[in-house]
Amino acid sequence: MPCTTSDLAVAADPAATDRGVAAGSLATTGELTAVDLFAGAGGSAQGLTDAGFRILAAIENDVFAASTLSANHANTIVVSEDIVSVCPRAFREQLKIGRSELTLLTACPPCQGFSSLGSRDRDDARNDMIGQVWRFAKEFLPQAILVENVPSLGRDQRWSELRADAVGHGYSFGSWTVNATDFGVPQRRRRLIGIAVRRSGVAFPTFLTDVLPWSFVLKPPHASDVIARAGDVGASSDPLHRARTPTRRVLERIRAIPAGGSHVDLPEDLQLDCHKRLRNAGRTAAAGPYGRIPATGPAPTMTTRCTTPSCGRFLHPTEDRAISLREAALLQTFPPDYQFCGTHDAAERQIGNAVPVRLAHALGLAVRQMLAVSQEVEQHERT
């Protein structure tokens, strides 16, 4: 990877404090500003930047993801600490912005305890990270709050508590369950979106796509066409455009899988025992492992193992290999020159955990429109 552990300096040093002064001064100029909690590798930050927001600061405790964020967003203050240990007031004062000056507080708390791909353990300690969102929101009192997570969080008491806290402090709170493909992302990815606007009685749209500008293209390209943008994996100088080197046995399996197929298409002698157990149990829905991404339509959800053949439908549509890190990042709609720091496994994890950039872009535009309408209503009421 282009970044190494020597690049892991984060903006919690004197230079960062200086940048905080500059960033803070922008908060009073009318510019759209944002702070990103649980920022990851910067999918949300990049999308919101594309939507016209200035990302003043971000908090991310994974050192590789924090380094990636810093490498691609040089003007953003990145705090690489456990969010629980960060004091919201001290953080706000470091940024030199007053309460209510921030435009947007955005967050994507860890979702493993809620995810259908994770443990679904309601007692998973990571589930409580949703509470950190309001801990910072009540200090910043931003004009808007944006939360993105897995749909099952919407059935949890902690989501209800977040909504109640926001409404109790004068916010209107709307929520939607969306699929990233509805916003032009070439990947199926169902997400829960919560948006709070600091004004009571806001009329939220039925569909978030209703408030996007006509120029925002909603139809996603075919995943195979997006993958092709990375070019020949053998001739590329891009260090991220590399596929995992399979063992001889794994390569045999990959070569035996037809276009659009998966492990269910393997001959008996190449099937793993776990695949046979799935078949015998009638679990045809678990056909993803050793599956090829379809030639037409979207890719499956990119996960933290999105370049590992045994972990999902992550094989190239036609070539006998798994997709590369760059191809996975393109399916997550990162820019083609976006860099990821750390080992292959670390980059894979960052890509799979990211908010798709184009989804974040759309959400940023939606928040802008909601705030504009809210301000128009408020001005009308004053006259």
The predicted pLDDT at position 4 comes to 43
Residue 64 lies in a domain: yes
The predicted pLDDT at position 183 comes to 98
Residue 216 lies in a domain: no
Q: With contact defined as beta carbons under 8 Å apart, do 328 and 301 qualify?
A: no
Does residue 172 share a domain with residue 59? yes
Give me the number of domains the chain comprises. Answer: 2
Q: What is the pLDDT of residues 21-59, one digit of tens each?
A: 333 333 445 799 999 999 999 999 999 999 999 999 999
The predicted pLDDT at position 5 comes to 35
Does residue 171 share a domain with residue 137? yes
Question: In the chain, pLDDT over 70 holds for what percent of residues?
Answer: 86
Does residue 198 share a domain with residue 258? no
Does residue 181 share a domain with residue 70? yes
Q: What is the pLDDT of residues 283-327, one digit of tens each?
A: 655 567 899 999 999 999 999 999 999 999 999 999 999 999 999
Q: With contact defined as beta carbons under 8 Å apart, do 81 and 69 qualify?
A: no
Does residue 75 share a domain with residue 33? yes
Q: With contact defined as beta carbons under 8 Å apart, do 332 and 356 qualify?
A: yes
107 bridge partner residues: 37, 147
Name the DSSP letter for residue 72: H
Q: What is the pLDDT of residues 212-225, one digit of tens each?
A: 999 999 999 999 99
Residue 90 lies in a domain: yes
Report d(CA 367, CA 146) in Å as an integer.
Answer: 8
Q: Does 13 have pLDDT greater than 60?
A: no
Q: What is the pLDDT of residues 59-78, one digit of tens each?
A: 999 999 999 999 999 999 99
Q: What is the pLDDT of residues 358-367, one digit of tens each?
A: 999 999 999 9
Residue 218 lies in a domain: no
Task: Identify each DSSP E strand in the chain by its residue range.
Answer: 33-37, 54-59, 77-79, 104-107, 144-149, 172-179, 190-197
Report d(CA 56, CA 37) in Å as an integer.
Answer: 11
Report d(CA 96, CA 99) in Å as an integer.
Answer: 10
Residue 330 lies in a domain: yes
Does residue 244 share a domain with residue 198? no
Do strands 144-149 and 190-197 pair parallel, antiparallel, or not at all (unpaired)? antiparallel
Q: Does 129 have pLDDT greater than 90?
A: no
Residue 26 lies in a domain: yes
Indicate which CATH number applies to the domain containing 324.
3.90.120.10
The predicted pLDDT at position 26 comes to 37
Provide mean pLDDT across the span 131-147.
Answer: 97
Kindly report the backbone phi and psi dihedral angles of residue 193, in degrees, each rounded to the nearest multiple of 5, phi listed first.
-120, 130
* Range scoring the smallest mean pLDDT among 73-77, 126-130, 192-196: 126-130
Does residue 96 share a domain with residue 34? yes
The predicted pLDDT at position 225 comes to 98
The predicted pLDDT at position 286 comes to 58
The predicted pLDDT at position 273 comes to 81
Q: Which of 355, 349, 348 is nearest to 325 (CA)?
A: 348
**Predicted confidence band at 10 (pLDDT cuts at 50, 70, 90)?**
very low
Does residue 172 share a domain with residue 281? no
- Dihedral-angle region of residue 296 (phi above 0 means left; psi in -120 to 50 means alpha; beta otherwise): beta
- What residues contact 14, with CB distance under 8 A and at least 6 apart? none
Indicate which CATH number applies to the domain containing 60.
3.40.50.150
Q: Does 114 have pLDDT greater than 90?
A: no
Q: Which of 358, 286, 332, 317 is nearest to 187 (CA)?
A: 332
Q: Does 157 have pLDDT greater than 80?
A: yes
Does residue 228 share a domain with residue 188? no
Report d(CA 209, CA 369) in Å as an integer.
Answer: 11
- Reading the block at residue 383, the tokens are 């006259």
Domain range for 88: 5-211+356-382
Report d(CA 301, CA 299) in Å as an integer.
Answer: 7
Q: With contact defined as beta carbons under 8 Å apart, do 70 and 342 qualify?
A: no
Q: What is the pLDDT of residues 321-349, one digit of tens each?
A: 999 999 999 999 999 999 999 999 999 99
Provide mean pLDDT across the span 264-268.
Answer: 90
Q: Which of 87, 1, 84 is nearest to 41 (CA)?
A: 1
Report d(CA 88, CA 96) in Å as an integer.
Answer: 12
Tokens 């455009």 appear where?
Answer: 241
pTM of the entire structure? 0.89
* Range scoring the smallest mean pLDDT among 9-23, 154-168, 249-263: 9-23
HSE value, Cβ hemisphere, 13 Å, CA-based, for 275:
20
Sign of CA dihedral 182, 183, 187, 189: negative
Residue 168 lies in a domain: yes
Higher pLDDT, 286 or 19: 286
CA 156 to chain centre: 21
Does residue 143 share a domain with residue 165? yes
Higher pLDDT, 264 or 44: 44
* Range scoring the smallest mean pLDDT among 127-131, 172-176, 198-202: 127-131
Does residue 360 share a domain with residue 347? no
Report d(CA 271, CA 111) in Å as an integer.
Answer: 32
Mean per-residue pLDDT over the chain, rounded: 88
Does residue 206 share a domain with residue 91? yes
